[in-house]
Amino acid sequence: ADVKSYQFDIVVKNVSRLCHPKPIVTVNGRFPGPTIYAREGDRVIINVTNYAQFNMSIHWHGMKQFRNGWADGPAYITQCPIQTGSSYAYDFNVTGQRGTLWWHAHILWLRATVHGAIVVMPKQGVPYPFPQPHGEAELVLGEWWHHDVEAVEKQGNMLGLPPNMSDAHTINGKPGPLFPCSEKHTYALEVESGKTYLLRIVNAALNDELFFAIAGHNMTVVEIDAVYTKPFATDAILIAPGQTTNVLVKADRLPGRYFMSVKPFNDATIPVDNKTATAILQYKGVPNSVLPTVPQLPQTNDTKFATNFLANLRSLNSQEYPVNVPLNVDRHLFYTIGLGVNPCPTCLNGTRLTASLNNITFVMPQIGLLQAHYFDIKGVFRLDFPDKPLAAFNYTGAPLTANLGTSLGTRLSKIAFNSTVELVLQDTNLLSVESHPFHLHGYNFFVVGTGFGNFDPAKDPATYNLVDPPERNTVGVPAGGWTAIRFRANNPGVWFMHCHLEVHTTWGLKMAFVVEDGNGPEESILTPPKNLPPC
Ligand code: C2O
């Protein structure tokens, strides 16, 4: 195993897209930021130096950080932010995982521009469980905002209004030639006829689930969230913010130029889309004057496609990569996802939109929860997050009032080390028309079941896949439906869980677990690094 060292300078840079120049926060002046390359088993050290006038904190999304929450990164959950003029070195081992993950700022809405891919190669000499591709490329899907992202957040958070939408989607930071002034902001991937390529696709968008397709070419999904899957062929993929998907694509068509396109999946909304981003799959030797072929993408409200696609995702479950789904559950959790309206004296309308789990809107603390836990600082959080809603109701069919009320609190749930947990996330679908991509820090989990309507504890568990369910770190809870996940709580620490739609996170759709092994945090969690940012 090696040590891989990176220096990340947080700097503001002027970038222009769609004829709009604006200063954005970047890593090393790049948008998207640099890719981190490592091998399974390596130690990775990323020294982050903050030269911008914003506090910063970076999360290594999907890295399990065993007993090492100090390197996880969410601001005020595992650390206080890196202040202007300061540095912090994230230092972690990549153990027992390989594949595509990503990193992003985990404070305010700065991940809009502060993000990049992580590529973890298998250990030396260990092949992929699929034919070795001729080449590989990362495709980081994102969004471009003419507005200052801070202003967008403020609109959503302080004023109590829905946030401004982005102005374009992007592929590797580029919207593609269908947007004004964007001819030169077009990503092109050159391929050789007859060869197969591995595309590592990351959804770094703030608020959109995305469809991705390549004109004329099927893709074979081989990995999701850095876990190998049973290969399956599809003409489009669905990827939620936070998720990663690896596909193989064979350059087996007439040499030409083919658009690779990205557009949002918005469930129930009217199929409008003016943000489709395009990149180009370019066969070697084909001149740029050839017009690219346009792919067929699902309609933005094509829930049927989305449901079928997700149902096709299965863990590989081979001898080398076996699946260990917990078959017995020690702790059953049932969380309702609510979006509602709460009083807000300082807001424009006197109300603001809020979001809640079990009718609790999470309040961010002033110091890191992991520090509070480790150093036993009292009064920062309570350990009384309820395992189920106060009272059952008709979650997906109830009158609005059933879910509008929420109480504010920094309330966490304590989970016994090494116990097995089943968590059912139940959407209540009142104001929301979207799926909610839930991300758990510090763990992968198995997606054992999902469905529309209300979860039925008497019937639905019989439909679970306990053999080869997809293993992920981020899962979409369907609009008006539920998703059941299972995991073994074998990683002590304080671990954030939240909706990866930034607007919902801001409204409070988040909470955290404290996983404790009974010997106290000093025994079960690594010693904090010396340069941990002070609060
Ligand atoms: Cu990718 Cu807590 O986030």
Query: What is the rounded CA–CA span in Å between residue 326 and residue 514?
Result: 20
Q: Is the CB of 241 under 6 A from ligand 1?
A: no
Q: Ligand 1: which atom is nearest the Cα of residue 496?
A: 2
Query: How many whole angstroms from 505 Cα to the centroid of ligand 1?
Result: 10
Q: Is the CB of 39 under 6 A from ligand 1?
A: no
Q: Is the CB of 174 under 6 A from ligand 1?
A: no
Q: Is the CB of 498 under 6 A from ligand 1?
A: yes
Pairing of the two strands 351-357 and 209-214: unpaired
Query: What is the rounded CA–CA span in Å between residue 108 and residue 57?
Result: 10
Query: How many whole angstroms from 254 Cα to the centroid of ligand 1?
Result: 41
Q: Is the CB of 496 under 6 A from ligand 1?
A: yes
Q: Does residue 275 carry a pLDDT above 90?
A: no
Least confident of 161-175, 238-252, 502-516: 161-175
Q: Residue 495 CB: number of other CB atoms within 10 A?
A: 26
Render pLDDT for 486-522 as a digit per residue (tens, 0 to 9): 999 999 999 999 999 988 898 899 999 999 988 889 8
Q: Ligand 1: which atom is nearest the Cα of residue 74?
A: 2
pLDDT recorded at residue 406: 83
Tokens of 192: 């050789």
Q: Is the CB of 62 under 6 A from ligand 1?
A: no
Per the CATH hierarchy, to which homologous superfamily does domain 1-128 belong? Cupredoxins -  blue copper proteins (2.60.40.420)
pLDDT recorded at residue 341: 78
Q: Is the CB of 115 under 6 A from ligand 1?
A: no
Mean pLDDT, residues 263-269: 74
Query: What is the rounded CA–CA span in Å between residue 186 and residue 152?
Result: 26
Mean pLDDT, residues 82-91: 98
Query: How many whole angstroms from 473 Cα to the centroid of ligand 1?
Result: 9
Phi, psi of 147 (to 5 degrees): -70, 155
pLDDT recorded at residue 266: 79
Of 475, 337, 332, the C-alpha closest to 395 is 337
Query: How many whole angstroms from 511 Cα to the centroid of ligand 1?
Result: 12
Class of residue 282 by CB neighbours under 10 A (exposed 0-12, middle 13-18, buried 19+): buried
Decide yes or no: CATH 1.20.1070.10 for domain 331-524. no
Residue whose structure tokens are 């130029």: 257
User: Do 130-315 and 331-524 fold alike per CATH?
Assistant: yes
Q: Does residue 157 carry a pLDDT above 70?
A: no
Q: Ligand 1: which atom is nearest the Cα of residue 498?
A: 2
**What's the complex ipTM?**
0.99
Helix (H, G, I), strand (E, B) or coil at 278: strand
Q: In what order do the strands lie in the sheet with 36-39?
A: 36-39, 115-121, 99-105, 58-61
Q: Does residue 272 carry a pLDDT above 80?
A: no
Architecture of the CATH domain 130-315:
Sandwich (2.60)
pLDDT recorded at residue 159: 63
Per-residue confidence band for 98, with pLDDT thresholds at 50, 70 and 90: very high
Task: Measure CA of the first residue to CA of the last residue in the chain; give whole Å.
Answer: 34
Check residues 519 and 154 and name the one with the higher pLDDT.
519
pLDDT recorded at residue 431: 60
pLDDT recorded at residue 433: 67
Mean pLDDT, residues 306-323: 97
Render pLDDT for 184-227 as a digit per residue (tens, 0 to 9): 999 999 999 999 999 999 999 998 999 999 999 999 999 999 99
Beta bridge partners of 92: 44
Beta bridge partners of 487: 421
Mean pLDDT, residues 360-374: 96
Question: Per-domain residue ranges for the chain?
Answer: 1-128, 130-315, 331-524
Predicted TM-score (pTM) of the model is 0.96
Mean pLDDT, residues 117-134: 97
Query: How many whole angstroms from 61 Cα to the centroid of ligand 1?
Result: 6
CA 334 to chain centre: 21
Q: Does residue 274 carry a pLDDT above 80?
A: no
Of 463, 441, 456, the C-alpha closest to 368 is 441
Check residues 352 and 55 and name the one with the higher pLDDT.
55
Per-residue confidence band for 132, with pLDDT thresholds at 50, 70 and 90: very high
Q: Is the CB of 510 under 6 A from ligand 1?
A: no
- Cβ–Cβ < 8 Å for 289, 455: no
Q: Is the CB of 242 under 6 A from ligand 1?
A: yes
Query: What is the rounded CA–CA span in Å between residue 510 and residue 500?
Result: 9
